[in-house]
Amino acid sequence: MQATLEKHLDLLVATGDAKLLTQLGHGIEKEGLRVDSQGRLAQTDHPRALGSTLTHPQITTDYSEALLEFITPVCDTPADTLAYLADLHRYTYKHLGDEELWNASMPCDIPSEAAIRIAEYGRSNVGTMKHIYRVGLQHRYGKMMQTIAGIHYNFSLPENFWPVYQQLTQTAGTMDAFRSAGYFGLIRNFRRYSWLLLYLFGASPALSSSFMQGRPNQLEKIGDHTLFMPWATSLRMSDLGYSNKAQSALNICYNHLDSYTASLSDAIRRPHPAYEQLGVKQNGQYNQLNTNLLQIENEYYSDVRPKRVTRSGEKPIQALRERGVEYIEVRSTDIDPLKPLGIDLEQSLFMDAFLITCLICSNEPITDAECEQIAINHQLIVTRGREPGLKLACYNGGQSVAERGSDMLDQVRLTAQVMDSIKGGDSYTKAVDAQYAKLEDPDQTPSAQVLNAIRESGAGYNEWALQQSRTHRKNLCATPLSAEKERLFDKMAADSLAEQQAIEAADSQSFDEFLAHYMAS
């Protein structure tokens, strides 16, 4: 791994093209539950002042009516991305009244699934489809799992990087094919080494006891209403969070674009007995979009996705097949309750250096045996990552988290040094260096700090997370939103409402006809 990495870095420096490694595209999608002043899940409609959840490009909802999602535009630097995300928070706070934005991945206390309102997107056919898709998720996986929130980190290299890298690696083929293969190489290495991100930045070791209602578990207790695992890093990414038995049998292949789209297409077309028994409709009401293993591509839960911006009416798989991969979406990032935005600049800078390292080091195909090893290490880290003496599965036997993690950080540091040599300063290298301490002392990880903070507060998870959310709101709003940005967001909200009305007015098909056409395309 290191030999290939060093070779490619040296060649990029020698040709003067290393500057391309700092001309990255960044975007963040952050989810967050609206809660009332007591920390209970909000039962109110999505605030109309924030615009239409169907058409607003930057403020929408995910599964539930209360689950806000912020989407930044593509920015040149992590600092610009975070600044924009902060402004989205400030604007939203102005229209929340006495509600709060829950700044943690695991949800607030929810007495029952009946309290979770599925998101509404208006009466258009496309809006109805978005709602029914979520109804299908309810029937397939339950509502509670859909209240978990996270951060998606979108990342891309500049287009002029790929011809340079193709020549450097002396690879034949079209540019679209080479770029897609490069991103898939990045994805394979991400899957190999993402356990390190979960260890370094996982921030969900505890949760409200209401999340596990009716489900057997072996979690330990803090007080009456908080459950935790003593060495866990990210329960969000464990079997307690985003997991389901139906998808566990999927064999989505990340070795090539063709195999990825083929295996995902198969899952979208393959009928599933349990979903066939449920049926698409019952008493004239839709239960789901179809009875296949996946209703649509987005139903597949994965910690990283190859992505391309779709055209109107185009499905994600079609876009990938026709024009290749445009960027990747990292989906494994917890919201850190200790940080105002759930993520900070140091983490973002590290992510950039980590992802570039995954791209330009060796990236052989993943075998079935290695795939099993990856799954084992993932489960070990999310549930026991800080456990003293924990060994990770390796091809040559077990290796400690600190040993293997340090080896990986050494590689990422090489990339960071080259990036700093181009940008000036040492911000990337410092971001990497800060992570070594977490390997040496697990108590410095966010998961340990969150657990300690909950204990020291004398309150439970819900009370502590609510107070953190209030504090972050106060601190963010201490810097006022600029008049220019407020006008921009006001216009976006108004335009989105008008656009939704236009879409609804233009519908000429029944929903049954619309859905049949969409599924057949």
User: How much is the pTM?
Assistant: 0.97
Query: How far apart, in whole angstroms, are the C-alpha atoms of residue 317 and residue 266?
Result: 11
Is 283 domain-assigned?
Answer: no
pLDDT band at 363 (very low <50, low <70, confident <90, very high): confident
Q: Is 395's pLDDT higher than 80?
A: no
Given a cut of 90, whether residue 313 has pLDDT beyond it is: no
Structure confidence by residue, pLDDT tens digits, 279-307: 999 999 999 999 999 999 999 989 999 99
Domain for residue 216, yes or no? yes
Kindly report the average pLDDT of the chain as a whole number: 95
Mean pLDDT of 24-28: 98
Is the per-residue pLDDT at 246 higher than 70?
no
What is the spatial distance between Cα 161 and Cα 317, in angstroms, rounded to a whole number? 24
271: in domain: no
Give domain status of residue 317, yes or no.
no
> Does a structural domain hold residue 286?
no
Average pLDDT over residues 56-61: 98
Amino acid code (one letter) for 93: Y
Q: Would residue 285 count as lying in a domain?
A: no
Q: How far apart are CA 374 and CA 370, in angstroms?
A: 6
pLDDT at 380 over 90: yes
In CATH, what number is assigned to the domain containing residue 66? 3.30.590.20
Q: Report pLDDT for 472.
A: 98
pLDDT tens digit string along 113-152? 999 999 999 999 999 999 999 999 999 999 999 999 999 9
List the domain range (segments joined by +) for residue 74.
Answer: 2-256+297-308+327-520
Answer whether residue 397 shows pLDDT above 90. Answer: no
pLDDT at 241 (0 to 100): 82
Average pLDDT on 209-216 reads 90
Q: Under a CB-based contact definition with an 8 Å cutoff, are residues 89 and 102 in contact?
A: no
> Across-strand partners of 71?
29
- The whole-angstrom separation of Cα 125 and Cα 168 is 48
Q: State the average pLDDT over residues 95-117.
A: 97
Is 276 part of any domain?
no
Quote the number of domains for the chain: 1
Residue 80 lies in a domain: yes
pLDDT digits (tens, 9 = 90+) for 417-446: 999 999 999 999 999 999 999 999 999 999
Query: How many CB atoms are located within 10 Å of the residue 482 CB?
Result: 11
